[in-house]
Amino acid sequence: MKEFNIHPISRTIEAAIKDKIDNLTKPKGSLGRLEEIAEQICLIQQTLNPTLRQPHNVLFAGDHGIIEEGVSVSPKEVTWQQLSHFSKGGAGINFLCDQHGFKLILVDAGVDYDIPSGHGIVDMKVGRGTRNFLHGPAMTEEELTLCIERGSKTVEEIHGATGCNIISFGEMGSGNTSPSAVWMHLFTGIPLEKCIGAGAGLDNAGIRHKYEVLSKAVANYDGADTVEAKIAWFGGFEMVMAIGGMLKAAELGMTIIVDGFIMTSVMLAASKLYPAVMEYAVFGHQGDESGHKQMLEAMGARALLHLDLRLGEGSGAVCAYPIIESAVRMINRMDSFQSVNVTKYF
């Protein structure tokens, strides 16, 4: 599998960052999470004067063989239909990207449909959906490698062409809360039943069926006891491409805004391969999918927003961007006590 050069972020300038933030014209700590985010962005960029450039949201789409087991209320064709919808500009992620100045990149990672050319969708198809992981691995080792490489290449090209230094990832794939729940269980140790939710709208009976299917799938696992093997056995093409994208973004020193349940499971998997990737991650929102709060807690992460979202697509990450922007404006534009001759009042 492709290797990445991701190092823990240097803390050499940490004291200088804290000193600058603490001497802005406000009581110490009074801007709360904005101060924490500003410090993180400064550390990522290794500067006291950070900038946010050309934000992008990369949306990977792919289908899942496990949907054959009735674990989702969304039929498989919704994946390609929604991907087409995104390309026309009328979906949820479209208005959010427009509102917050994000460039939306659409990638066919493995949709079970022949997407016509000329719609602005990047063709990186690895296959026409994954296999049913109830009966065997969802993807081969070669397909895993291809997904990592193609996700990495997508981010590398964006960074090189635009200078983008802050990026979010979204997904479209009917049934993809199932692999996300399994990854959460395998990589945190949280009981599987607590990792499973309604997805696109399952009722209680549907959730119970989903648990039974996924529980059997986990019991059937006979792959190697490695992170890579577990990612390949249960993952989706779009999810593994997002892993490659996140790892490349961290290698390039970019800030990664993590979206909801599915993208958090992707960051979880990525962190099991390269733990330092977490230092580049800002978690955008805590979604409404059951288990997301527990997964964030297991990762030692706190989300900026909790808006009961469960749309995916990168929507929560893009919604969180103005808060990150406010943190950067705070450290760059607020006066210091010394510069305006105001007595410290704390």
For residues 60-65, average pLDDT = 97
Q: Model confidence at 200, in pLDDT bands (50, 70, 90)? A: low
Higher pLDDT, 199 or 227: 227
- What is the percent of the chain where pLDDT is above 90? 88
Q: Model confidence at 344, in pLDDT bands (50, 70, 90)? A: confident
**Residues 246/259, Cβ–Cβ less than 8 Å:** no
Residue-wise pLDDT for 79-105, tens only, equals 999 999 999 999 999 999 999 999 999
Q: Is 313 considered catalytic here? A: yes
Q: Model confidence at 74, in pLDDT bands (50, 70, 90)? A: confident
**Residues 191/181, Cβ–Cβ less than 8 Å:** no
Asked whether the predicted pLDDT for residue 346 surpasses 80, the reply is no
**Which 8-state DSSP code applies to residue 66?**
G
Predicted confidence at residue 310, as pLDDT, reads 87
Asked whether the predicted pLDDT for residue 201 surpasses 90, the reply is no
Q: Model confidence at 118, in pLDDT bands (50, 70, 90)? A: confident
Give the Cα separation of 228 and 105 in Å (integer): 26
Higher pLDDT, 340 or 236: 236
* Domain extents in the chain: 14-50+330-340, 56-323
Active-site residue (options: 35, 171, 238, 313): 313
Determine how many CB atoms are found less than 10 A away from the CB of residue 118.
7
Asked whether the predicted pLDDT for residue 202 surpasses 90, the reply is no
Q: Which fold has domain 56-323?
A: Rossmann fold (3.40.50)
Predicted confidence at residue 273, as pLDDT, reads 98
| Summary mean pLDDT of the chain | 95
For residues 59-72, average pLDDT = 95
Residue-wise pLDDT for 267-297, tens only, equals 999 999 999 999 999 999 998 877 999 999 9
For residues 299-321, average pLDDT = 95
Give the Cα separation of 33 and 18 in Å (integer): 13
Predicted confidence at residue 225, as pLDDT, reads 96
Residue-wise pLDDT for 216-273, tens only, equals 999 999 999 999 999 999 999 999 999 999 999 999 999 999 999 999 999 999 999 9
Asked whether the predicted pLDDT for residue 128 surpasses 80, the reply is yes
Asked whether the predicted pLDDT for residue 345 surpasses 80, the reply is no
Asked whether the predicted pLDDT for residue 40 surpasses 90, the reply is yes
Asked whether the predicted pLDDT for residue 317 surpasses 90, the reply is yes
Residue-wise pLDDT for 149-187, tens only, equals 999 999 999 999 999 999 999 999 999 999 999 999 999
> What stretches of 221-314 show up as alpha helix (H) in DSSP?
227-234, 237-251, 261-273, 292-298
Asked whether the predicted pLDDT for residue 342 surpasses 90, the reply is no
pTM, two decimals, is: 0.96
- Nearest in space to 336 (alpha carbons), one of 41, 48, 5: 48
Q: Which residues does 291 contact at the CB level (< 8 Å), separation at least 6? A: 181, 184, 190, 194, 195, 196, 197, 261
Residue 171, H or E segment: strand 166-172
Asked whether the predicted pLDDT for residue 58 surpasses 90, the reply is yes
Residue-wise pLDDT for 206-215, tens only, equals 899 999 999 9
For residues 339-344, average pLDDT = 82
Q: Which residues does 209 contact at the CB level (< 8 Å), separation at least 6? A: 70, 71
